Amino acid sequence: MAVKNNPSAHTKTTSPSDWLAKAHVLTEALPFMQRYDKKTVVIKYGGHAMGDAKLAEQFANDVVLLKQAGINPVVVHGGGPQIAAMLERLGIKSQFKNGLRVTDAQTIEVVEMVLAGAINKQIVTALNAAGGTAVGLSGKDGNLLVAKKTRSRAKDPTSNVEKAINLGFVGTPQKVNGHILDVMLASNIIPVIAPIATSANGQTLNVNADTAAGAIAAALNAERLLMLTDVDGVKDKKGKLIERLSKAQATRLIKNGTAQGGMIPKLETAIDAVKNGVTAAAILDGRVQHAILLELFTELGAGTLVE
């Protein structure tokens, strides 16, 4: 007989059919839970969902649920809107090239303060409040994320000539010290990582959160890389959501201009992650309630899956 820990929580309006429906949902999720049992799932958490208190609480509950279900979640977070807000407050203008933030010496100090400070600890606090054991760190801790300065190129829209882009203190991951995360996961800890890296000579670099999550997922041989963003997923030229993509199809979307702006680094990250051992990568809307659970525990999934 089931033990009712909190009978007062069971309202008089709840009918047996409601409980049966919930039981049915659990049984449908069972095969998916078995599939991901003891597997690692790297979640890139970002976008405006981070600024919504209700969605942030829901995200924390869902991540702790994954841990309780025997899955090893690793959270890598961004903070673009929060960084932009702080830069505006300080009177520092933001500039983007090829979907990446140009980071000068003044900006990198603000980026590190916001990402590794305020945002990281907010997420850790929310996960702990939900019943998890979360520990926050940045890529600089224990040389978790070693990067080199990003050298990017893009076509000039007026001349159509490809030119080098100087992104300042922006980094591309070179090495991930996965051992640190393995130890934390084995200790029932949920790592929460700010994508601030160090270079070989100790220089602080800002790494795109999607790119950092992809590199970490590959280093951990993750079963899934989930990139939460502010759009439904990858769309075709008519604006229709594309539910599944092969690596080759995803590459073509970048080359033919279907993918633009911030979607380019997301697709590049998904492609590289799958090439480097991640089973599949999904780009999904973090504003959708329980997006993580829908993607992992239902047949339909959510967003766009690259495999």
What is residue 302's predicted lDDT score, i.e. its pLDDT?
78
> Would residue 28 count as lying in a domain?
no
The pLDDT of residue 81: 86
- CATH code assigned at 50: 3.40.1160.10
Say if 14 falls within a structural domain: no
* Residue 245 in domain: yes
Per-residue confidence of the chain (307 residues) as pLDDT tens digits?
344 445 444 445 567 767 666 665 666 766 667 777 899 999 999 877 787 889 999 999 999 999 999 999 999 999 988 898 999 999 998 777 766 668 899 999 999 999 999 999 999 999 999 999 999 999 999 999 999 998 776 666 565 656 677 888 999 999 999 999 999 999 999 999 999 999 999 999 999 899 999 999 999 999 999 999 888 899 988 889 999 999 999 999 999 999 988 888 899 999 999 999 999 999 999 888 899 998 898 876 778 999 9
In-domain check, residue 152: yes
Identify whether 23 is part of a domain. no
CA dihedral of 119, 289, 273, 223, whole degrees rounded to 10: 110
Quote the pLDDT of residue 95.
77
Please give the tally of structural domains in the chain. Answer: 1
Q: Name, in order, each residue with C-beta under 8 angstroms of 209's C-beta and a sequence gap of 6 or more.
A: 44, 46, 76, 77, 78, 79, 195
Range of the domain at 125: 41-306
Supply the pLDDT for residue 46: 86
213 in a structural domain: yes
- Kindly state whether residue 11 falls inside one of the protein's structural domains: no
Q: Indicate the pTM of the whole model.
A: 0.86
Q: What is the CA angle 40-42-45, rounded to 5?
A: 150
